[in-house]
Amino acid sequence: MAEFSMVRTIERTRQGEALGAAAIEALVDGFTRGDIPDYQTAAWLMAVLWRGLAPDDLTALTMAMARSGDTLDLSSLGRPVADKHSTGGVGDKTTLVVAPIVAACGVPVAKMSGRGLGHTGGTIDKLESIPGFDPELTVARFMDVLRTSGLVLAGQSADLAPADGKLYALRDVTGTVPSIPLIASSIMSKKLAIGADAILLDVKVGRGAFMRTLPEATKLAETMVRIGTGAGKQTVAVISDMDRPLGRAVGNALEVIEAIETLRGGGPDDLRTLALHEAALLLVMTGAAPDEAAGERMAREAIASGAAFAKFADVIAAQGGDRHALEDFSSLPHVAAVQTVTAPASGYIAAIDPLAIGQAAMHLGAGRERKGDTIDPAVGIVLRATVGEWVERGAPLFDIHARDAAHAAAVRADALAGYRFSETPVAVPPLIKTTITAPT
């Protein structure tokens, strides 16, 4: 390659020209080392936001970010390893259900999760509501837990894809977060650094999600599937509904309880349906099941036999968590008093705005308004009735789990404003919109 020029690279991206892998690698290396200044990288990011990136350049960007720090070698497990990622939603505790089911079916699951920001929760925040649970694992400990439990649920290591961490911080302050190629490469670089063989992506769509429309969500899903497939990984994306909260519980310990109930054969229908679908896909992708129907049967059996819950309890204990708290929920963080909000009128529930519920939970202390805020594991909202159901005036609509009456009063009206009622029956939008299995 001719000598790398950042100015020329910005200009070429601005013109919509392909850059080639060598230029992309020079850019990522130079930026990560601090040789390319933020102002030039920010200009390039803005050019990508407007002009996009050629598919080969996008793969090169993702691979360069993935290789910018530690990468794990999972080959010593001797069998295909699964990973799952959600783009984030309100009440999304699916990972806590899917990962133990898949592991209970004999497929190792290596999961690194982030913390939540804004109205969407993070898997690690939820798990940390279990007394003693430690998500901060060294690479050696990560591998050890994975080998002995067949499942590991760790926090994101700062040493994993550090180029992404640095680029994301710059995107955050330069208006360049909402770019499909940049989001796709950011997410996939971390997945590729972990190195699982089968990657299941749950792309949420709707008012409570990053992607508000189906065309946008489809584009993001297709882009990530193309990157993963191009890197030699089995990659499948499920596009699922986030125009209402998933399940009934929103808030960290409350979501852990709902995940456990689902692992034990109960739980809300939508969460169970999504978890079984995703588990079945991962079982097929890793070769553990011949087809989706067989995968779903295996997943149901893992729940019915108690194996899925036992797997969850094992990994929690392996990471220092109190196994007893998974059976006796009074040992999990909880508030002293719960306030129930009732229906102002009789009718069918036509909609529950996930943003209104997510923000109410965040204001109670379940989520972070700013990076670094501490969260309260006990608080949140539990829906007592959901979309499509009939409620009588005065019947329970939702419970507010707040630290005190003032906090509950502060979110009550906003959460209630998220409900829409109808005098006639309403059609519930499909939970699973589509599954994307191959690049188009």
48 contributes a contact to ligand URA by CB under 6 A: no
Choice from 104, 183, 382, 415 touching ligand URA (CB under 6 A): 183
Question: Is 179 among the residues known to form the active site?
Answer: no
Q: How many residues line the site for ligand URA (CB under 6 A)? A: 6
Which 356-415 residues touch ligand URA, going by CB under 6 A? none
How far is 354 from 82, CA to CA, in rounded Å? 29
Task: Report, in Å, the least distance between residue 166 CB and ligand URA.
Answer: 13
Contact call for residues 77 and 146 (beta carbons, < 8 A): yes
Choice from 96, 187, 284, 308 touching ligand URA (CB under 6 A): 187
How far is 301 from 290, CA to CA, in rounded Å? 16
Residue 86 or 359 having the CB closest to ligand URA: 86
Supply the DSSP symbol for 400.
E
Question: Is 401 among the residues known to form the active site?
Answer: no
Residue 111 or 272 having the CB closest to ligand URA: 111
How far is 222 from 433, CA to CA, in rounded Å? 14
Contact call for residues 255 and 125 (beta carbons, < 8 A): no
- 114 — phi, psi (to 5°)? -95, 180
Residue 94 tokens, joined = 């699916």
For residue 46, give the H/E element and its range: helix 38-51
Contact call for residues 169 and 201 (beta carbons, < 8 A): no
Which one of 115, 171, 191, 401 is the catalytic residue?
171
In the bound state, the residue with its beta carbon closest to ligand URA is 186
Contact call for residues 19 and 13 (beta carbons, < 8 A): yes
Task: Report, in Å, the least distance between residue 168 CB and ligand URA.
Answer: 6
Which 235-294 residues touch ligand URA, going by CB under 6 A? none
Question: Is 190 among the residues known to form the active site?
Answer: yes
Task: Report, in Å, the least distance between residue 183 CB and ligand URA.
Answer: 4
Task: Report, in Å, the least distance between residue 423 CB and ligand URA.
Answer: 40
Question: Is 311 among the residues known to form the active site?
Answer: no
Q: Which stretch binds ligand URA (CB under 6 A): 39-47, 181-189, 286-294, 344-352?
A: 181-189
Give me the half-sphere count of Cα atoms (radius 13 Å) on the Cβ side of residue 67. Answer: 12
Please, what is the Cα angle at 381 between 379 and 387, to 5 degrees?
165
Buried b / exposed e over 368-395, threshold 16 CB at 10 Å, is beeeeeebbbbbbbbbbbbbbeebeeee
199 contributes a contact to ligand URA by CB under 6 A: no
Task: Report, in Å, the least distance between residue 155 CB and ligand URA.
Answer: 14
How far is 225 from 184, CA to CA, in rounded Å? 9
Supply the DSSP symbol for 16.
T
Residue 186 or 262 having the CB closest to ligand URA: 186
Phi/psi class of residue 306: alpha, beta or left (left: φ > 0; alpha: ψ in -120 to 50)? left
Which one of 164, 243, 314, 399 is the catalytic residue?
164
Which one of 93, 115, 190, 368 is the catalytic residue?
190
Question: Is 186 among the residues known to form the active site?
Answer: yes
- Kindly write out the interface string for residues 128-167 of this chain, putting x where it contacts ligand URA by CB under 6 A and - elsewhere: ----------------------------------------
Task: Report, in Å, the least distance between residue 186 CB and ligand URA.
Answer: 3
Contact call for residues 77 and 103 (beta carbons, < 8 A): no
Alpha-helical runs (H) found in 157-242: 162-172, 180-194, 214-230
186 contributes a contact to ligand URA by CB under 6 A: yes
Task: Report, in Å, the least distance between residue 122 CB and ligand URA.
Answer: 11
Site of interaction with ligand URA (CB under 6 A) = 168, 177, 182-183, 186-187
The catalytic site residues sit at: 85, 164, 171, 186, 190
